[in-house]
Amino acid sequence: MNFDLMAALDKLEASKPELVVVGDLILDEYVIGYPERISREAPVLILEHKETFYRLGGAANAALNAAKLGARVTLVGFLGEDFAGEQVASICAQAGIELITCKPNGYQTALKTRILANNQSQSLSYSGTNSAQQVLRVDRLPALSSLSQEVRLELANLIDPKKTLLFSAYGLGVCERELVQAALVARPERIVIADPSNDFAVFAGAQHFTPNQPDTEKALGRQIDFSSSEDLQKTWAELRGLCGVKSEFLITRGAEGMLLLADNLAQAIPAFNLAEVFDVSGAGDTVSACFALCLAAGLSSLEAAIISNTAASLVVRKAGTASTSIGEIRGQLGGLDYSFLH
């Protein structure tokens, strides 16, 4: 198999694609402190607070990844009239992301708080490979009952039907059937990518899917034997039965890399730089965003998959939900061994 990934990356960079990301908007909060002592009240660690900072999570992280790769990005979802919603809007504005939202009465913006303990001899910044360790996560999630069918359809009407669309679903109530199908009906000829978290059939009609292995196996109701060509053919048929016969699937497998099922192709792509993994948070968002941009730029699914895998190999070296750039990807591709291709 002979193709030029550097030329493909140049094409991606030159195209500056437009992307609409629709999904669950999450604010990630990181609270870092030094271990001080064990509490006298209970056998728990006391941290001396040193730093708190915020990053985009969920669909918002996918949008940020796309923006960092040079795309013109519109992010569509629900926000609450609360501190987390204000932070999401502020970070999006700083990143040049156009934010289109509905704000239902009583809606609470999803907030995930990670408590990290850091050795006093190390830098406090959680932006590189230091010794900060996550000791607790607290999730404050919106109530799905607060989202009516009417408000979802209202949001669907705000989606530009002329641009490539990425659904980034985290199961928090945005990417439900009525919204997704309304958006799909309005864009029959446009590229649509879905990164589903549960019911794949909700996204039936999308051409491309980027699920992880656990969610894929849950959707199929069985484990996949990735070493068996017969089982991969069966998986391909079952997934297309769920999502449409024209659909392609890029299944992310963590330390095992990825599998691309497309046009009777079952191509395994190994994880790159596995020994340098530091934090896998948000790596799936990087994959879906990069894959969507590559397709919007006219690259093949295989080119898009390898470039997306390379992008993911870079963000897992970084702490927290992170992003990468075209320059970093180009540097990584230069030393890539293509022997895995068949």
State the greatest distance between any 2 C-alpha atoms of the chain, in Å, as a whole number.
Answer: 65
Phi and psi, residue 287, nearest 5°: -60, -50
Phi and psi, residue 270, nearest 5°: -70, 160
Q: Which two tokens stand for residue 202?
A: 């909700």
3-class SS at 156?
A: helix
User: Distance between CA atoms of 69 and 323, rounded to whole angstroms?
Assistant: 9
User: Distance between CA atoms of 290 and 91, rounded to whole angstroms?
Assistant: 20
- What residues are annotated to the active site? 285
Q: Are strands 25-38 and 45-58 parallel, antiparallel or unpaired?
A: antiparallel
Closest CA to 267 of 213, 229, 296, 313: 229
